[in-house]
Amino acid sequence: MKYEQDITRVLYEAGNNGLSVKKIARHIFNIHNGLFEQTPYEEVYKDVIAYINKNSKSKKDILEKTGKWGHYRLNPNSQADCQLLFNFEEHDTNDDQEKLENKQVDNSLSLF
């Protein structure tokens, strides 16, 4: 399935409240549709439902139901969830920008 990481990222950003299946599918649809790639919403919705059904059956799976009907979130008790959280943390880009500025010093000779 090609939407696994995107679904996990969307649910991670949603937090502990989770999202409904329709909202998850809408986010994934918006991520994957652009000027050059058009994926039908029905196809995305089917894939999202298949992934959720596959990964929310037991207590150790990565997804779990919230108290609301049709809402899912990342399972805090899942070991796979803890591993995936490392991939979504944003790093500080200011340090990277300063390193690039220091490396881009112009040492060429002037022609005039």
Query: Where do the domains of the chain lie, and which CATH numbers do they carry?
Result: 4-89 (1.10.10)
pLDDT digits (tens, 9 = 90+) for 55-99: 888 777 888 888 888 888 888 777 665 555 555 455 555 566 666
For residues 23, 7, 61, 86, the Cα torsion angle rounded to the nearest 10 degrees is: -130
Find residue 74's DSSP bridge partners: 63
Percent of the chain with pLDDT over 70: 72
pLDDT of residue 10: 87
How far is Cα 13 from Cα 112, in angstroms, rounded to an integer? Answer: 55
- Whole-angstrom CA distances from 79 to 19, 74, 84, 88, 108 are 21, 11, 9, 16, 53
Residues 73 and 18 sit within 8 Å (Cβ to Cβ): yes
Confidence of residue 36 (pLDDT cuts 50, 70, 90): confident
> pTM of the full predicted structure?
0.66
Any idea what DSSP says for residue 47?
A: H
